Amino acid sequence: MGSGMSKVVTGLYLGNIRDSEDVASLQRHGVTHVLSVHTGAKPVLEDMSYLCISASDSSSQNLMQHFKECIKFIHECRLRGGGCLVHWMCDRNGGRRLRQWLIEQIDSELYPGLIWESEEKSMFRIPWKHAGKQDYNQEVDASIFKAWAVFKGKFKEGDKAEPATWKTRLRCALNKSPDFEEVTDRSQLDISEPYKVYRIVPEEEQKCKSGVGTGSGLADVTDMDCSPSAIDDLMKEPPCVDEYLGIIKRSPSPPQETCRNPPIPDWWVQQPNPTLPLMNGYTGYEQHHSGYSQMVINFFYGGKLVGHITTSYPEGCRISLSQPSGPNEKLYAPDALEHVRFPSAEAIQNDRQKQITKKLFGHLERGVLLHSNKQGIFIKRLCQGRVFWSGNTMVYKDRPNKLDRDEVVKIFDTNLFFRDLQQYYNNQGRYPDSRVTLCFGEEFPDPTLRCKLILVQVEQLFLRQVVEDTEKAYSSSSSPLVPAANETQHEQVYRIFQDICGPHQRPLFRENQQIAV
């Protein structure tokens, strides 16, 4: 009897020679065709269609010459509604590295979403949908990850399905392999059918990077698994914390000193993203008015407030894990910036949440730069970990907004806020939010806000004071629509708005409103 063939996709199974001779198992799985690859490959059962490839169990054996023939055999079988069992008599990994295995899977076109990204076949896409998504289809979205688990002997038909574990195994293999390098600029993780893009690193390039001329640095797939303890930790996580392992997104490290780009000038002087509102020509005094430059920053871990600070430096601040030490680090955070540290993860009570947060910290070392002035709040992401945000300048209202690395983005527009605030007091809109929210490592906003590892809320100190004064002024009036007896309250509100908007805006008050002088 066979040890149990494993289903890869509908109509395609992997097994060993014993499975290929187990009539009852073959009938139970609907197998009609057998692709046999080994030194003594030959037909065995009369009612079965065979493709026999004679091949030795050797790393020098070239199987690519048989590739098209094998693919045609499998396709014809599945098109006729049959099932195909593929087996080989050799070591489980056949001496093949992940590189060769994955190229074969891409060329087979058996896995939805696993396709070549470039015509020269130097980059490929791999589907990367989260198992927690409502439209997640394990048969489709986890097929390539399952195939890797089958190939590695980590899963066979009848075992409990663990799509998250399958995905983790292949991710670990890709990350450890010198043959692959993620191309983060091409990856799309914020769309309905997310995918990652990997580049196949030429062996000559690998030799240059490692500084040696041999292939000793090219590990076999047997060396590329996650450790058993790491997988055990994954499987022991509580339901909410299960989401955490998927959030730590890796991107290539900054180039070494020999390849470093020229130092970037002070980031707040640069133009922000052209797709966002542009900066107006305010005077230096207005841009560095302490009320606008000071920011109130609150830190939330797992939805709980763990720290807060009010900045005082007019040039802004850098939120990171530690103060920059070497000269290279200072390129990313000039001395004029105030250094704000993430609160310690020790404040987290849940041990697993604490552990994953610390792992996420490993991708946030360079942090982000923040600058606030009369125009609004600007940010520049330096860290490897992804950062999502919400504010009144969001480009997308129906999906998460991600900060691109090393790009200045205006995440809050002060003038827009006061226009919206005036409309609210005129009963023409909703009350605007004066805060912006940064979410590190996880997509934001989404329905699972309570499970976010790290949220940071930022608000201009002057805005907070203005909002409080405005609320007091209007709450003391009998009605915001009818002038009250004490007109000085409305005068106070008007002066607040006028001072904020200055000559750049129309007066923010109702045309029929009387102002005492």
pLDDT in tens, 114-155: 999 988 899 999 999 988 788 889 889 999 999 998 888 888
- The helix (run of H) or strand (run of E) holding residue 435 is strand 435-440
User: Any long-range contacts for 354-362 (C-beta under 8 Å, 24+ apart)?
Assistant: 356/241, 356/244, 356/245, 356/247, 356/248, 356/453, 357/301, 357/453, 357/454, 359/248, 360/247, 360/248, 360/385, 360/440, 360/441, 360/453, 360/454, 361/321, 362/248
In CATH, 99-236 is 3.40.50.920 = no
Helix (H, G, I), strand (E, B) or coil at 464: helix
Per mean pLDDT, which range of 212-216, 411-415, 473-477 is the poorest? 212-216
pLDDT band at 270, cuts 50/70/90?
very low
Region 274-282: mean pLDDT is: 38
Confidence of residue 295 (pLDDT cuts 50, 70, 90): very high
CATH of 263-461, one of 3.40.640.10, 3.40.50.300, 2.60.200.10, 3.40.366.10: 2.60.200.10
- How far apart CA 226 and CA 42 sit, in angstroms, is 37
Q: CATH 2.60.200.10: which residues of the chain?
A: 263-461
Residue ranges, comma separated, of all CATH 3.90.190.10 domains in the chain are: 1-90
* CATH of range 1-90; options 3.40.50.1000, 3.30.70.20, 3.30.300.30, 3.90.190.10: 3.90.190.10
Region 19-45: what's the mean pLDDT? 87
DSSP 217-228: T---GGG-SPPH
Q: 207: burial class by Cβ within 10 Å (0-12, 13-18, 19+)?
A: middle
CA distance 246 to 131: 10
**pTM of structure:** 0.45
d(CA 454, CA 342): 9
Task: Provide the token pair at 249.
Answer: 């997104």
Q: CATH 1.10.10.10: which residues of the chain?
A: 99-236
Residue 375: C-alpha distances to residues 107, 277, 415, 434 (Å): 52, 10, 7, 13
Cα–Cα distance, 39 to 447 (Å, whole number): 55
